[in-house]
A and B are shown apart, each in its own frame.
Chain A
Amino acid sequence: MKPRFSFGMIAILLAGFAFLYVPIGLLILYSFNASRLVTVWGGFSTRWYVELFSNAQLLTSTLTSLEIAFVSASLSVLLGTCAAYALARSGAFAGRTAFFALIYAPLVMPEVITGLALLLFFVAIGIERGFWTVVLAHSTVGMCFATVVIHARLAEFDMTLEEAAMDLGARPIEAFWLVTLPICAPAMVAAFLLAFTLSLDDFVLASFTSGPGSTTLPMRIYSQVRLGVSPQINAISTLMIATVAILLLVARLLTGARAGK
């Protein structure tokens, strides 16, 4: 008897995803609310979106956040690929356990601790806080997530494939380029998206490490949320969700199309 995918499981999936998505759905719905009150439906309106685009501060912060996310996600994937490759390929080396510890600690470390540590570090070595200090902070955490994602893929994959390529005369760099990299590519895309998201989301690390000119979007949103609920926040989050949904879809089509063939 095969353990079946039962109706009970479908019910669990529906309930679980409802829990995850209903709050977000409500947020989107009320971004089109004409009323300023979040609980009273005052008819359909796009006024909050219009207001949003005249909020120059918010737009500048959005741009800053996107730039930081892009640079730090790229760095994260670069460093993460190296680290994952080193972990998967180079057998035992001195300090392997310590390297592992360094990869896994930032994943779970409470952000207030990491943020404070980085801030004190930047102050101690006399770096002016700004765009690049936030990038450094995000890349450090992002690379660890990237390493885990890419390493999981590399650990699954049969390394004799790479050896076979080299036995057949490929140089190590060719074997990496022609065999390992294509296999890793979906994991690298996933790692990039993950690091990008984490950076775009982050409030705590950014507040510790940013300077006057580099207020990120989450920092703006935070100060607005503390002042009170405003439909403008709903509007900006809806735009972010829409952007991301499109990105995810494109990424899925790209990697899905390749995997399908």
Chain B
Amino acid sequence: MSLVKKTRGVGDGGLAANLGRRLVLIVPYAWLILFFAIPFLIVVKISISVQRDGRPPYEPVFELADGFIGAWESVQKFSMESYAAIYADRIYGDAYISSVWIAALATLCTLLIGYPLALAMARAPRRWRSLLIVLAVAPFWTSFLIRIYAWIVILKDEGLLNHALISTGLISEPIHIYATQGAVLIGIVYSYLPFMILPLYNALEKQDTALVEAALDLGATPFAAFRQITWPLSMRGVIAGCLLVFIPAVGEYVIPDLLGSDEVLMIGRSLWDEFSTARNWPGAAAVATVLLVLLLVPIVAYQRSHLQTHGAAR
């Protein structure tokens, strides 16, 4: 069976080249199936298993080696216990809703900060641009944790921000930001900003500035030119950037753990606690499965936005 359908007449260099072409596809494909797709099936499988004491801490379900009769027996042992627990305990529902809310708010803030920045970068003189890109991406190089740590130092009640504000006399009492939802929001915006800037910049940099030029020549105000040309033409970047921030932010663990408090509910933390503190692997797997189902629509939308950009062309 041929996996690669040749669409071009050029470049068929015989058997070896064909084999090479196929390997180039098959190796990464197989890798992702093995280390990404199959692990998710295992998550689903374990989510319907029952917790137990031991190693591993779940009852085995469904082994291929068991054959048909064994498989049927294990199907009868499928348990919806973990899902029932998620449904029954309000804290999970609240955590899902609060995660989506915080992530949406953070995405909006990131867009509001990232868009002007990306636009300014894209309109900067050409010789500056590669440097600006490096500057926008470079904060990644500091460990993510360290950047969150920097905000702990800044936002704490006795931290640098309050220290500065009090010593300049602007406030007399420290503002409580640390260990609130606001701090989590700042942390997400700060860490994910480059993820927003890059797709925006890519979309904006490709735009033909002659279009805006023409609009301005024809008497459009700069704002009208922005609203009718720049913004709609950058829509792909906006969508890609927003999804790139929103989806991982919903499941964020580190930021709410370090900058939030127990009152800032986020599902990534619930999953982690279920896994490491409660040592309830089926429970954690069920939380993950529900989260995945929740994120399925945005993830598919994200993939489609890319498929439209690159997929159809080649």
Pick the interface stretch among B2-10, B69-77, B79-87.
B2-10
Of residues 203 through 261 on chain A, the ones whose CB sits less than 8 Å from some CB of chain B are 203-204, 217-218, 221-222, 225-226, 229, 233, 237, 240-241, 244-245, 248, 252, 256
Cβ of A155: which chain B residues have Cβ within 8 Å of it?
310, 313-314
A140 touches B31 (CB 8 A): yes
Contact assessment for A3 and B139 in the assembled complex, using a CB-CB cutoff below 8 Å = no
Contact across chains for A87 and B17 when beta carbons are under 8 A apart: no
- The distance in angstroms between the C-alpha atoms of A197 and B117, with both chains bound, is 23
CB of A20 within 8 Å of the partner chain: yes
Judge whether B144 is part of the interface by a CB distance below 8 angstroms: yes
A147 to B33 Cα, complex, angstroms: 16
Q: Which of A2, A21, A151 has the most CB of B within 10 A?
A: A2
Do the beta carbons of A108 and B243 come within 8 Å of each other?
A: yes
Instruction: Tell me, yes or no, whether A182 is within 8 Å of chain B by CB.
Output: no
Contacts of B67 in A (CB 8 A): none
Judge whether A108 and B302 touch: CB under 8 Å.
yes
Q: Is B182 an interface residue when CB atoms closer than 8 A count as contact? A: no
Whether A91 contacts B5 by the Cβ 8 Å rule is yes
Contact A100 B311 (CB under 8 A): yes
Q: Is B32 positioned at the interface, with any CB of A under 8 Å from its CB? A: yes
Residues on B with beta carbons closer than 8 Å to the beta carbon of A92: 5, 7
Known: A108-B243, A166-B10. A89 touches B314 (CB 8 A): yes
Interface membership of A112, Cβ < 8 A = yes
* Number of CB contacts from chain A to chain B under 8 A: 303
With A120-B46, A229-B149 given, is the CB distance from A79 to B113 under 8 Å?
no
B303 within 8 A of partner (CB): yes
A54 at the interface (CB under 8 A from B): no
B:130-187 near A, CB below 8 Å:
130, 132, 134-136, 138-154, 156, 158-160, 163
Contact of B37 among A85, A91, A102, A159 (CB under 8 A): A102
B78 within 8 A of A: no
Shortest beta-carbon distance from B290 to chain A in Å: 11
Say how far B314's CB is from chain A's closest CB, in angstroms: 5
Given contacts A108-B244, A109-B299, A116-B271, contact A17 B135 (CB under 8 A): yes
State in angstroms the CA–CA spacing of A140 and B284 once bound together.
22
A178 within 8 A of B: no
Residue in chain B with minimal CB distance to A198 = B140
4 closest Cβ pairs, A-B complex: A110-B251, A91-B7, A117-B39, A121-B39
19 contacts between A and B (CB under 8 A): A1-B217, A2-B213, A20-B194, A27-B149, A38-B160, A91-B6, A92-B5, A106-B32, A108-B243, A108-B244, A108-B248, A110-B250, A110-B252, A112-B288, A113-B291, A116-B275, A162-B11, A200-B143, A218-B145
B residues near A (Cβ < 8 Å) are 3-8, 10-11, 13, 17, 20-21, 23-25, 27-29, 31-33, 35-40, 42-43, 46, 56, 113, 116-117, 119-121, 123-125, 130, 132, 134-136, 138-154, 156, 158-160, 163, 190, 193-194, 202, 209, 212-213, 216-217, 222, 225, 243-244, 247-248, 250-254, 258, 268, 271-272, 275, 281, 284-285, 288, 291-292, 295, 298-300, 302-303, 306-307, 310-311, 313-314
Instruction: Give me 10 other A-B pairs in contact (C-beta within 8 A), A93-B5, A241-B141 excluded.
Output: A102-B37, A105-B303, A108-B248, A110-B252, A120-B42, A143-B28, A144-B32, A201-B140, A221-B145, A240-B142
